[in-house]
Amino acid sequence: MKYKPVVCLCVICVIGFGLIARGQWMSENIVLQSGWNSISFPLQPEPSNCELLFAGLPVEAVHLWDRSKGGIEFDSDPQNAVLVPPSWLVWRPTSNPQSFLNDFSEVMAGESYLIKVTSNTTFSVTGRAVITAPRWLPNAYNLVGLPVSGSMPSTFAEFFAGTSDIGTIDADGGAIYEILANGSERKVFQPALVDVKRGTAYWVLTKQVVVYPGPVEVSISGGASSLDYGSLSSLRSLKIKNITGSTRRVTLKTLSSGAPPQVGGTNLFPCAEGGVPLSHEQMNWDTLKLSYLPLPATLSSNIPPNSVWELKLVPRSLEMESPNLDAVWESILKISDDEGAVEQFIGVSCKGNAETFVDPAGLWVGGVVVDKVSRMAAGDVVSWDPSEPVDASDGFSFRVILHVDENGEVRLLQRALLAWNPSGQVVTGAGVYTNGIYALLADEADAETYQAQHPDSKIVRISSVNLPLMDPLLMNGAFGGDNTLLGTVTLPFNNPVNPFLHRYSPLHDNLEYRNDQPLALAEGRESFTVSRNLSFEFLEEDPDQGSANPQWGVSVMGGVFREEVAGLSASIGSARKIYVQGRFQVKKINSVGRIE
């Protein structure tokens, strides 16, 4: 193969289908004093382009600290805006003759900058609410911003209370410096009395620390910085970890999203129809079953030392009703501790309406659990129905992959190759977007062709070992609701994975030898064709939670699985069939409605 190796998934990954980077908008005022200002943006500015972000402001230059090169010194002469050490990248406005030497052009949340302005100014930055956390170089000075509260200040000593690898005073090997307007540094001598300023970057000396987000760490499954559900209502895990030695009370609040940013009076992003109604998963210990509860406007928890408060969140998609098929829904989650040492904002977004959310088109991956099997007849006297499965002493499971195309036709897949093309384009009613597209491929030959056409694409293979290598099988019936899908998988007698064939057993190789020459045998000698009649009977409601599960019918489907196997007992001169039964559940992992 000439294309890059495909990665075979051993577990099911939820792959969000989002073509447009959506935002959940908030604004923060940034005060700049004449001279140098050390800034760490607590949100992702939009626009992020420096020329647009700083338009109309008295900005002379913006310096980005390159952590890969380290270094504390800004310059031997802080007034020199051109000659800087290699540990700094520089941007200047196009009005500056030196702008052709610019090293970067985009501002990123959580990164640290030195901004030089010619006069005092205050500007409002609008951007996406994202999780930010300082990244540390061990045994070095780091220029970092700390995710503290802007309304309830926390001291440096309080913020670093959860680690011994970052000291705050000389006695424990610590040193913290703030940057003054003239470019020089001033040491923080009393870190237990000095408050951390939100959005300000400081020089902090570390020991062996690699990761320290603060006394409370906030993270999202998959390493995401926001909860962008796209057009899928898949469960996402939000974890809030107390990494200190004492109990901390943490509060989660749901806030409304602000207006999207504008440039020249034009919105860069569509306005939201409303907030995202969320539910959180919870175990009902009386029934030992999961339940879903609406997320209240304010939810608090006392988190014990070194413990995690996990919230599994899912949108209630069917409540998001709008005549606009491309409606955008946005809100913000604010997470803070009572001490004010940590304050994080997380954007939440969905795209679509109640009608589009239940559109089944896309790739569905899940599993079948077989726990019933029919009994063989006992000679000529049968006291039970051999076609009726009964409970088995032990069950088995296998993966199932289904694809629903744009016309509602359903195919059973042995494997699916999901390709991400980061430079792909999509044309919508709102314009042309170029931040990548997904494509669904049927086999490795298609993957090779696709990789040749799109060298920067990434391809992931999802497969089911319970099925033979085969083309997508068109199923009869309809997907979801109370419908049933039917299909037959045929395993020819000479197929290498036929259970009657054994490569290294001469009694089961379907060959006979004449004059030491192997000759293939006809069907029925050593090997037999096996057929599997599969049935997927969908249930309109979750069998465990009923209508309370907001994912069911949107991103999760399931029901009763039945299979009729013929051919396995033909070797003893009988046409008996084996009947099995179980349950199945599939999850929508992508909305690609066409197999290339």
Instruction: Please state, in angstroms and rounded to a whole number, the distance separating the CA atoms of residues 230 and 234.
Output: 10
pLDDT of residue 72: 56
How many Cβ atoms from other residues are within 10 Å of residue 390's Cβ? Answer: 12
Residue ranges per domain, the chain? 25-128+134-205, 216-357, 362-407+469-492+529-590, 415-463
pLDDT of residue 575: 59
pLDDT of residue 210: 76
Superfamily for the 216-357 domain: Immunoglobulins (2.60.40.10)
pLDDT of residue 248: 94
In SS3 terms, 305-316 reads as CCEEEEEEEEEC
pLDDT of residue 87: 75
Instruction: Please state, in angstroms and rounded to a whole number, the distance separating the CA atoms of residues 467 and 569.
Output: 19
Tell me, what DSSP letter sits at residue 100?
G
pLDDT tens per residue across span 306-323: 999 999 999 999 999 999
Token pair 């999203």: residue: 257
How many Cβ atoms from other residues are within 10 Å of residue 100's Cβ? Answer: 8
pLDDT of residue 363: 95
Q: 593 to each of 228, 362, 369, 483, 556, how far by Cα in Å?
A: 20, 5, 27, 20, 17
Burial status of residue 75 (CB atoms within 10 A of its CB: 0-12, 13-18, 19 or more): middle
* pLDDT-flagged residues of the chain (< 50): 1-22, 74-84, 429-432, 571-574
pLDDT of residue 212: 92
The sign of the torsion formed by the CA atoms of 204, 210, 212, 213 equals positive
pLDDT of residue 4: 36
Q: 336 to each of 108, 161, 187, how far by Cα in Å?
A: 22, 16, 28
Parallel/antiparallel/unpaired status of strands 289-294 and 278-284: antiparallel
Please name the helix (run of DSSP H) or strand (run of DSSP E) that holds residue 518, with its range, or none. Answer: strand 517-520
